[in-house]
């Protein structure tokens, strides 16, 4: 959040001169001051510098030259002059305020606070003192004191947007987002052409979870200055949260050329393109985001999933393998990696991962089933049988394990035992088509083809697209 510290500028008056300084000197002071008021700052500064050489203790000369140095970014030079003027006129409010400003500019907050406090004690209804006191406390991260000072300033000048903005910063810095958003909104509404006020309001409203209202101020800030990517990204995020995905996507697409190295932008583009159904565009966005931020877990995960869905299994395996290196304890990542391995026919790689997972957590039934299925496919029938049996020792109703043991018995030509396992699988999972198909083959071998055909018809009814069941059904029917 940005806060704004203002230097209060005073048009200084002319004090009384000692008699020995004469009317001519007094007139020179007036003339030098008039040069400033006419806009000739350089001429006024030169004139007061000449006066200072001749009258180094004159409070008007000290005040004016200190004031001019202060506003000419020469605060270091202004400090001794304003200190001397303060010694000459210890109750001059303008001198005290400008001395406080000079201290503030050179980084001496403690001395500045003393000056402002003195002004506030002398004139409690002086807005500038309370405002600057608030700024010092805000800079020192003393948010409670800052709020108190700004409240005093607000009672004296309720239409000043800068107070409301800085009050918002104090609340926001103290994680009081609801209160912060209220004051930022007031600041922006009082001065709608100020980008900082609109930006602060929009971001605070997002933190306060007032997304709809936040959009109004973020749009205002973005219209005032479209080069602030943080505002544009926040606006796009807000659009997404309220379901305005098309607006979010259009906004992010417009930022591609100006923010080519912004990983967050490209990640969000990937999300929105994927939601739109543009999987190729989403993959390209995620790939770019991954190049910019190679260690982002969400980017790699989403990229791998899309690559897998598009049939780019080697690319998916690469993405998931990188993700595993960054987050080795993620079960989801390991399962996705093994899924890609299986699609590539690399069962040994998948088996190695599944065994590692089971070594760490032996009770993962789904992992053990996957391992057993892979062992069966790679010809390790005894290993598969052992893992299927391990599953059934804790989950008797598991259809995959029953079906797997049925296949083991069928391979050994123990048809009755095989049929028992397949029937158990169907009983616990009536839509488990592989068990119907395998039981039908077993019954065919037991010379019970009519019963087998009925099972296959049921299987095709459950899953009309199951090619294995369709093929066996057609074969058995054609055999009579």
In the block, which residue shows the tokens 């790939």?
Answer: 287
User: Tens of pLDDT along 288-338?
Assistant: 999 999 999 999 999 999 999 999 999 999 999 999 999 998 999 999 999
State residue 21's pLDDT score. Answer: 53
Identify the sign of the CA torsion 370, 374, 375, 376.
positive
For the chain, give every domain's residue range: 1-158
Tokens linked to 320: 């998931």
State residue 22's pLDDT score. Answer: 62
What gap in Å lies between CA 113 and CA 111, rounded to an integer? 5
Q: What is the CATH number of domain 1-158?
A: 1.25.40.10
State residue 18's pLDDT score. Answer: 44
Taking a C-beta distance cutoff of 8 angstroms, is the pair 333, 353 a contact?
A: no
State residue 15's pLDDT score. Answer: 46
State residue 26's pLDDT score. Answer: 87
User: Tens of pLDDT along 59-93?
Assistant: 999 999 999 999 999 999 999 999 999 999 999 99
pLDDT above 80 (res 6): no
Query: Is residue 240 exposed (0-12), middle (13-18) or buried (19+ Cβ within 10 Å)?
Result: buried
Q: How many Cα atoms within 13 Å fall on the side-chain side of residue 280?
A: 0
User: Tens of pLDDT along 113-129?
Assistant: 999 999 999 999 999 99
User: Tens of pLDDT along 251-286?
Assistant: 999 989 888 999 999 999 999 999 999 999 999 999
Taking a C-beta distance cutoff of 8 angstroms, is the pair 302, 310 a contact?
A: no
pLDDT above 90 (res 143): yes
User: Tens of pLDDT along 7-45?
Assistant: 444 445 444 444 445 688 889 999 999 999 999 999 999
User: Does the predicted model carry a pTM greater than 0.85?
Assistant: no
């Amino acid at each position: 959040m940005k806060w704004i510290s203002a230097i209060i500028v005073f048009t200084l008056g002319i004090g009384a001169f000692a008699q020995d300084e004469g009317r001519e000197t007094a007139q020179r002071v007036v003339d030098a001051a008039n040069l400033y008021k006419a806009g000739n700052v350089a001429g006024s500064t030169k004139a007061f510098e000449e006066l200072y050489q001749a009258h180094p203790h004159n409070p008007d000369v000290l005040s004016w030259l200190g004031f001019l140095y202060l506003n000419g970014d020469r605060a270091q030079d202004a400090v001794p002059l304003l200190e001397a003027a303060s010694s000459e006129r210890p109750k001059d409010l303008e001198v005290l305020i400008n001395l406080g400003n000079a201290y503030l500019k050179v980084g001496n907050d403690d001395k500045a606070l003393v000056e402002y406090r003195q002004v506030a004690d002398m004139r409690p209804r002086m807005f500038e003192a309370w405002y600057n006191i608030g700024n010092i406390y805000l800079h020192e991260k003393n948010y409670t004191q800052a709020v108190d000072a700004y409240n005093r300033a607000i009672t004296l000048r309720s239409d000043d947007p800068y107070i409301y903005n800085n009050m918002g910063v104090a609340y926001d810095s103290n994680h009081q987002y609801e209160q912060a958003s209220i004051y930022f909104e007031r600041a922006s509404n009082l001065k709608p052409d100020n980008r900082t006020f609109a930006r602060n309001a929009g971001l605070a409203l997002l933190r306060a979870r007032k997304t709809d209202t936040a959009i109004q101020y973020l749009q205002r800030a973005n219209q005032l200055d479209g080069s602030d990517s943080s505002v544009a990204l926040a606006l796009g995020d807000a659009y997404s949260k309220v379901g305005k995905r098309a607006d979010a996507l259009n906004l992010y697409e417009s930022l591609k050329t100006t923010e080519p190295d912004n990983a967050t932008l490209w990640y969000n583009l990937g999300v929105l393109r994927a939601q739109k159904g543009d999987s190729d565009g989403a993959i390209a966005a995620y790939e770019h985001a991954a190049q910019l931020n190679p260690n982002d877990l969400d980017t790699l995960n989403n990229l791998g999933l899309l690559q897998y869905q598009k049939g780019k299994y080697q690319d998916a395996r690469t993405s998931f393998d990188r993700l595993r290196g960054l987050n080795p304890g993620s079960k989801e990542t390991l399962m996705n990696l093994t899924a890609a391995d299986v699609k590539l026919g690399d069962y040994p790689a998948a088996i190695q991962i599944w065994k590692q997972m089971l070594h760490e957590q032996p009770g993962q039934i789904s992992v053990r089933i996957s391992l057993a299925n892979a062992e069966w496919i790679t010809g390790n029938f005894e290993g598969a049988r052992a893992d299927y049996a391990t599953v059934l020792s804790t989950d008797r109703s598991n259809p995959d394990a029953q079906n797997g043991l049925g296949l083991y018995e069928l391979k050994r030509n123990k048809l009755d035992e095989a049929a028992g396992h397949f029937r158990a699988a169907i009983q616990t999972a009536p839509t488990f088509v592989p068990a119907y198909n395998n039981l039908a083959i077993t019954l065919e071998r037991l010379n019970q083809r009519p019963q087998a055909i009925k099972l296959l018809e049921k299987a095709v009814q459950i899953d009309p697209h199951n090619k294995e069941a369709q093929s066996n059904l057609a074969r058995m029917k054609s055999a009579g």
